[in-house]
Amino acid sequence: MTGWTTRGVRSLAALSGARVGPRRAALDGDRPTLHIRCGSDIVEALAAAGFQGDVLEVTDPLIQGPVPETRSARHHTATRAAFIAAAYGLSASEARARMAAEAAGLRAAARYDRVVLWFEHDAYDQLILARVLDALHGWRDLPARGALVLYDPARDGAAVGRVRGLGELSPERLRLLWGRRRAVTAILTAQGRRVWTALRRPDPRSLALLARGPVPGLPTMPIALTRWLQDLPWVGDGLGRTERDILRTLAEHGGTARTGALFAAYQTDDPLPTLGDAMFVHVIVGLTRGPTAAVARVDAAGGPERAAMWSLTETGHRLLAGHADWAALGGLDRWMGGTHLVSPRPAWRWDLRAGGLVSTG
């Protein structure tokens, strides 16, 4: 994901009609179909592959920021829109409008005879998938109307190739995945609801339990949740895994590097990369805050952060050496789902030795 966008429902038929070359028979032409994806990365490829239905991008990045435990759609929208505006540089009105368009698209999904969910195995996709499955829970004739195309490297790697995301697949490979789709059952949506409920709780233990698996019907969910939970502050240095990797990469680059170099290293080194560049920048910016910053911006102020130059501070060096704790230093104030992590004593940490979540309360 490059940035956070929602365009509402669009027509794949219109996109494919604008393309030069022979038209294929529509793979989804037997009934009105809505394809749901957490981004725009496969939209053109779906059109080229011969799909003619509509597409909805559901892209609210639930892996970052507060996800409130509330039944109020208005409260949820207001909370998420406020975070998105602050984190990704949107105006408050634009963030609210995009959230409203996304929610309206999900409500409109009920009017289609078929709804196809296209998702991959990382935490960004999996948490949004849980939200979408929750929205579909209780639908009449659900198995006949819902289909899930879930890329699982262990299951699909040999057939379509091992990739980081669906956006790397050609139209022909997407057609192969379409042939491996499966029905969305009530059992599957119930599992999505379990994850969605656990994500929003202030206490992350339910989510950690799901991370131990299995989650019936969602084989990639436990691995994705485990990697995401590793961005909790760790026992010892108070850094999340992504934060620590940023500091380590800066050190390997002589203490100074641009955003692009840091992001490229993250994409290469992380076994399950889940952040787009806008989300990655948000993590870097978090390391510049607090009484003693771990990272400092060293180029001219005012330019885009996606092209900025960053430097490792003395505090950053101390953190990497294991001589300081980011939470104790006052640098921690962020949300993961319904859990607020704040200095100097976050209630939850990740313990590498124990291999999981630990309470510090």
Bridge partners (DSSP) of residue 258 are 309
Whether the predicted pLDDT of 2 surpasses 60: no
Looking at the fold, whether 182 and 263 belong to one and the same domain comes out as no
Looking at the fold, whether 275 and 135 belong to one and the same domain comes out as no
Residue ending a domain, choose from 208, 224, 259: 208
Within a domain: residue 50? yes
pLDDT digits 0-9 by tens, 213-268: 999 999 999 999 999 999 999 999 999 999 999 999 999 999 999 999 999 999 99
Answer whether the bond into residue 214 is a cis peptide, omega within 30°. Answer: yes
Asked if residues 226 and 241 have their Cβ atoms less than 8 Å apart, the reply is no
Within a domain: residue 44? yes
Looking at the fold, whether 76 and 202 belong to one and the same domain comes out as yes
179 CB-near residues (< 8 Å, 6+ apart): none
Domain range for 306 = 241-359
Looking at the fold, whether 74 and 22 belong to one and the same domain comes out as yes
Domain of 315: which CATH number?
Answer: 1.10.10.10
Looking at the fold, whether 169 and 22 belong to one and the same domain comes out as yes
Looking at the fold, whether 194 and 270 belong to one and the same domain comes out as no
Looking at the fold, whether 131 and 250 belong to one and the same domain comes out as no
Within a domain: residue 104? yes
Whether the predicted pLDDT of 113 surpasses 60: yes
**In angstroms, rounded to a whole number, what is the distance separating the alpha carbons of residues 177 and 168?**
13
Looking at the fold, whether 79 and 131 belong to one and the same domain comes out as yes
Whether the predicted pLDDT of 361 surpasses 90: no
53 CB-near residues (< 8 Å, 6+ apart): 12, 13, 26, 28, 32, 33, 34, 35, 112, 114, 116
Asked if residues 333 and 285 have their Cβ atoms less than 8 Å apart, the reply is no
Whether the predicted pLDDT of 18 surpasses 70: no
Looking at the fold, whether 110 and 204 belong to one and the same domain comes out as yes
Alpha helices (H) along 137-240: 142-145, 153-160, 171-178, 186-199, 205-212, 221-229
Helix axes 186-199, 221-229, angle to 10 degrees: 0
| Strand duo 33-37 + 54-57: pairing | parallel
Looking at the fold, whether 163 and 46 belong to one and the same domain comes out as yes
Helix axes 73-88, 92-108, angle to 10 degrees: 130
pLDDT digits 0-9 by tens, 76-106: 999 999 999 999 999 999 999 999 999 999 9
Whether the predicted pLDDT of 21 surpasses 70: no
Asked if residues 129 and 63 have their Cβ atoms less than 8 Å apart, the reply is no
Within a domain: residue 294? yes
**In angstroms, rounded to a whole number, what is the distance separating the alpha carbons of residues 68 and 49?**
38
Residue 8: the pLDDT is: 78
- Res. 17 pLDDT band, cuts 50 70 90: low
Within a domain: residue 221? no
| Overall number of domains in the chain | 2
**In angstroms, rounded to a whole number, what is the distance separating the alpha carbons of residues 279 and 116?**
26
Looking at the fold, whether 108 and 180 belong to one and the same domain comes out as yes
Whether the predicted model's global pTM rises above the 0.85 cut:
yes
**In angstroms, rounded to a whole number, what is the distance separating the alpha carbons of residues 342 and 333?**
4
pLDDT digits 0-9 by tens, 189-216: 999 999 999 999 999 999 999 999 999 9
- Res. 4 pLDDT band, cuts 50 70 90: low
Residue ending a domain, choose from 208, 228, 254: 208
pLDDT digits 0-9 by tens, 274-322: 999 999 999 999 999 999 999 999 997 778 999 999 999 999 999 999 9
Whether the predicted pLDDT of 111 surpasses 70: yes
Within a domain: residue 192? yes
Phi, psi of 322 (to 5 degrees): 80, 20
Looking at the fold, whether 57 and 165 belong to one and the same domain comes out as yes
